[in-house]
Structure formats: C-alpha cells, structure tokens
Amino acid sequence: MPFLKKVWYITWKDIRSEFRTKETMTSMLIFALLVLVIFSFAFNPTPTETKRIFPGIIWVGFFFAGVLGLNRSFARERENDCLAGLMLAPVDRSAIYFGKVLGNSLFMLVVELVTLPVFIVFFDYSVRGSLVALGLIFLLGTFGFVAVGTFLSALATNTRTSEILLPIILFPIIIPVVIAVVQATASIFAGASWSAATLLWVKVLVAYDVIFLVVPFLLFEYLLEV
C-alpha cells in the first residue's frame, strides 16, 4: 500500500469518528465564537479600532479553538487503548503523524471557514483583498500550527498534566506562525493582497511549515515508543 494511502486511512478514520460524535468540532466552533464575544465585551472597539485589531482577534480565536481540538486528537486515542491499536497497525509511525496532521488541519479549516463570516458580520468588518491570497494564508498558517500542535499533542497526552501542558509548550513554539499569519492577514485585509509585505510573510510561513513538518517527522517515532 502506498504511503499516501496509509496516511489517508488514518485521516479518514479520524474524520469518520469525528462525524459519529461531532464533539470536538462542536466545542471548537462554540469556543471560537465565544472568543469573539469575549473580545467584543473586553474591548468594545470603535470601527477604526476594529479595523486595526480584527486580524489579530480572529487568529486568537482560531488558535485557542485549535488547541481544544489538538488536545482531543490523541486523548481520544487513549480511550479503550486505541493508540496501542494504531501503533500495531502495519503503517509507519510517521504515517500516523501525517494522517493526524491532515485530519486536524481539515477540522480547523472547517472551523475557520464557518466562523470567519460570523466574525466579519459581528464586527461589521468590510473585507478587501484577494480571496485566493487569503485562502493561501489560511492554509499555510493552519497547517503550520497543526503540524507542531499535533506533534506536541502526542507528547502532552502521555504526561500527567496533558490538557494543561499542551498550550504551555505549544504557544512559545508557534510564535513565528502567530506573527506571520496575523501580519499577512492584516495586509491582505488592507487591500495589499500581493504586496511585498504579504509575500515576506508567505515565505516565513512556507519555511516554518516545511521545517516543522520535517523535524517532527524525524522525531515522531521517539514519541510513540512503547
């Protein structure tokens, strides 16, 4: 069986089990929307302020919701010893990693796709810029976040303090993604879709994504040792 197919089987397994319960996605969606509401109350922004802080707010919402989902990603496998079953499956450990990354990215992208319009409506934000550029940034940012997040989620899940450990170890590592994705989103929303600034951040994101796909790929087997 080709490697990619194995990866897809892992992803497909996650998608199917998610669709059976829908618990993770529901929590992520509600949480992202709650972040929006909290931000409105906390800052009560005027239209000019909104313009400035909107790209930051949406990504804070996505990242916080994302951590919820990532926490479940491996915690779910601990029930009924599913992780042991996964590891016994005739696939490389790295296939498990890539499969999980793909699945988690899909979940997070769905959350982003659903909540972004809501954010825009509630903040009465007028969006400019190219949709293609925006899509690219969302893909790259989400992927970078999930690549590190999935890896560290596998690490955190086997510790005593798994759920509270993940955000502590994840957020310092993803600072470059936070900076790049927010800056790029801001410059696209400002109408400068393919400006030099946007492209700089695209490059940062691409570099980050590649590095943090390769390094976890090399290290993942050390995490899932029996």
**Measured from the CB atom, is 21 or 158 closer to another protein?**
158
73 near another protein, rule: CB under 8 A: no
**Measured from the CB atom, is 23 or 221 closer to another protein?**
221
222 near another protein, rule: CB under 8 A: yes
Sole window of 8-16, 26-34, 122-130, 203-211 interacting with another protein (rule: CB under 8 A): 203-211
**Residue of the chain from 165, 192, 206, 213 that contacts another protein (CB under 8 A):** 165
193 near another protein, rule: CB under 8 A: no
Q: Are 7 and 95 in contact (CB under 8 A)?
A: yes
**Measured from the CB atom, is 26 or 159 closer to another protein?**
159
Cα 39 to the center of its chain, rounded Å: 20
Give least dist CB 92 to another protein, A. 17
180 near another protein, rule: CB under 8 A: yes
**Residue of the chain from 124, 169, 195, 213 that contacts another protein (CB under 8 A):** 169
**Residue of the chain from 38, 87, 197, 206 that contacts another protein (CB under 8 A):** 197
Q: Which residues bind another protein (CB under 8 A)?
A: 148, 151-152, 155, 158-161, 165, 168-169, 171-173, 175-176, 179-180, 183, 197, 200-201, 204, 207-208, 211-212, 215-216, 219, 222-223, 225
